[in-house]
Structure 1
């Protein structure tokens, strides 16, 4: 695989995205209410044409968008990413009717999407999910038009954009005891009877909630992909979005690094500038080294995805793992070098310090990524023997 580097048009586009994020998106983000969907911000993302690119561009472009937006406005980055995560299964596996109804509204920012996989007892072990798609004693009940009908019963938890989304990509168990092979993906509009939700008060400022399904009706027309093949829908979506979570992390790390460069270059301490202290200079160099290494791994994984490489799951896991752990380290060191001012509410680093923690958990915790990497390595070894 060739080494990744930005060509001039890509570099110019990233600079434009950073400027748009700072000038047009950040003011809208600042007017939003923490813990709630900022529909004005999502609409602006649609008017700028960024949401439509979720469905017309590849993984590299997705990473470029997420890194660039994260650098200047993490709220805008997250709003864009959540639209993509919730709607990608519809784009990739939806019926023509599903796509026609929802994707234009996602692209223009008038419909909010959500990806509902995690449950109170099934977070990292997503194959253990317990939300039931029940059809009575045995097979799904036939509808008059020949379609199948189920009722969803159970709970989802830690769902971004819940409970304010307009539709959810929901993963439910259609075959008990079958593990990952018995899960089906459904497109569930938020106004279905029996579907309720509550917001959760989380460290991260974006909306996260829990959903309750009390015999929520779904039919064959709501299935995304094939019955009992929904886990493939989930993992395919995560293989695309995991490298871009890494890009989000790299954008935050770069913002923290640049803030640290500016601060240490002008801050007077011990008779000189902070940057003149060898311990500080070496720390800044380490922050830069790790950020660039993470960036290269993120774009290598994204390039592999766009080229249809066989080792995408391993590369995606590596990219998310390295980038999110790196961002945590860089932001933490940036806070240390800034001192108490970085802990003041409203400071860039105080904001990043709250934002940077969650990506090490969602879309597969760091421990899960290590498990995926090891599994893929051993599978490759066995296949070669």
Structure 2
């Protein structure tokens, strides 16, 4: 992969996004109710054209959007990302009728999407999911009844539709999963909110013989695992971009604080231990940023090894952000833990990305699997 640098127009666009987030999105986020979908915020993201870009841009643009928004308004970043995660399978695998009905509403911010993969017994092990799609012999169209549970679903139970992954062929592992588009008002579908360390809603879904038909399938029957993994390969680098945005915000706050804060007959930056700590924060943030951009570019170019690159980007960036935000809190002292402080907010936000869309340990497993598969292929040749 060549050395990476942004074009001037990309840099200018990122600066514009940060300004828009601070001026137009941050006030709406501040008025939102924690744990609930902020529909005015989504509507503004739609008016700004950012939600539509989810379906017209590549992986790198998605990363630039998420990183830029995260620096000024993490709530706006997350609202945008969840729309993309829930609706991308419809965009990539939906029928013309599914796309025509739902994607314009998602782009406008008038319909809330959700990605329903995790289950109480199948979080990171997506191939082990047990939500059952049992054949339904009623009516003239081939259909199923969905029975089981989903858990830890972002935007549940307030989403307007869900991309749901269910087992259509028992005992077939990853090869027996089908993706369905399930509107929230489908009979038998109920949801409950979970109290989580999260500003956006996360909930559990119960499926009590929820009817679905062939018209609700996304892609092909028993090929839903590929739909899920393709979506995650696109969004994992952008989770890293979200983390890089938080790390950058924490780094900038720390540079400003340590150059002004008087201590020990000088400023904090005059202490070598502090200066070296800030330098380490900057080094790790930039390294994570470059890996995220490289992984996104590999996705856009159709390069080999995308799953491993995506896993590396998410792993390095989310672990880096945890380190940088923690170090920023330490250098700010008690003021950073006061409710409402930027770092208090980031400290709460930065933990979850190391878990969702595949925990750090899962990413290491993906990376190792890719390495050994490559070595096997080279040996076979």
TM-score bracket, shorter-length normalisation = over 0.9
- The residue aligned with 1:87 is 87
Instruction: Find out whether 1:55 has 2:26 as its counterpart.
Output: no
Equivalent position SS for 1:354: helix
Equivalent position SS for 1:56: coil
Deviations 1:222-281 (A, max 9, x none): 000000000000000000000000000000000000000000000011111000000000
Q: Equivalents in 2 of 1:142, 1:313: separation in Å?
A: 40
- The residue aligned with 1:346 is 340
The CA deviation at 1:378 is: 0.3
Q: Equivalents in 2 of 1:372, 1:143: separation in Å?
A: 43
The CA deviation at 1:180 is: 0.5
The CA deviation at 1:207 is: 1.1
Q: Equivalents in 1 of 2:288, 2:198: separation in Å?
A: 22
- The residue aligned with 2:235 is 241
The CA deviation at 1:141 is: 2.7
- The residue aligned with 1:283 is 277
Instruction: Find out whether 1:383 has 2:371 as its counterpart.
Output: no
- The residue aligned with 2:255 is 261
Equivalent position SS for 1:289: helix
Q: Equivalents in 2 of 1:237, 1:384: separation in Å?
A: 28
From 310, 324, 330, give the equivalent of 2:324. Answer: 330
Runs of 4+ in 1 over 2 A off after TM superposition: 140-143
Instruction: Find out whether 1:141 has 2:168 as its counterpart.
Output: no
- The residue aligned with 1:308 is 302
- The residue aligned with 1:73 is 73
Calculate the aligned-residue CA RMSD, in Å: 0.7
- The residue aligned with 2:361 is 367
The CA deviation at 1:143 is: 3.7
Q: Equivalents in 1 of 2:292, 2:233: separation in Å?
A: 12
Equivalent position SS for 1:169: strand
Equivalent position SS for 1:51: helix
Runs of at least 5 residues in structure 1 that lack an aligned partner in the other structure: none
TM-score by length of 2: 0.99
The CA deviation at 1:148 is: 1.3
Deviations 1:25-66 (A, max 9, x none): 000000000000000000000000000000000000000000
From 145, 159, 168, give the equivalent of 1:165. Answer: 159
Q: Equivalents in 1 of 2:198, 2:330: separation in Å?
A: 21
Equivalent position SS for 2:190: strand
- The residue aligned with 1:103 is 103
The CA deviation at 1:205 is: 1.1
The CA deviation at 1:142 is: 6.5
- The residue aligned with 1:37 is 37
The CA deviation at 1:2 is: 1.9
